[in-house]
Amino acid sequence: MAFSPTGVLAYIPGSSNFNVGLAARDGALRSLRFPPKFYSYPRISPDGQQLAVQVDELNGSAIYVHL
């Protein structure tokens, strides 16, 4: 999981790491529509506007950025 300075929490729920979601300070949860893959290491930009996650693929790793 990762926190932004504005209080947004990014998390990867469960043990399968197939889903990525955001949680606001008020407790509202929002699932992001990323394709089903193995995600890890979520990071939020300092302004809270972008989320980057590592995705493990058959030919290596990549970084996905959600705007």
DSSP the chain: -EE-TTS-EEE--TTT---EEEE-TT--EEEE---SSEEEEEEE-TTSS-EEEEEEETTEEEEEEE-
pLDDT tens digits in sequence order for the chain, 67 residues long: 777 777 777 766 655 556 677 777 788 888 887 777 888 888 888 888 888 888 887 788 888 888 7
What is this structure's pTM?
0.61
In single-letter form, the type of residue at position 64 comes to Y
Quote the pLDDT of residue 41.
84
pLDDT of residue 13: 61
Query: Would you kindly state where each structural domain of the chain is located, as residue ranges?
Result: 2-66
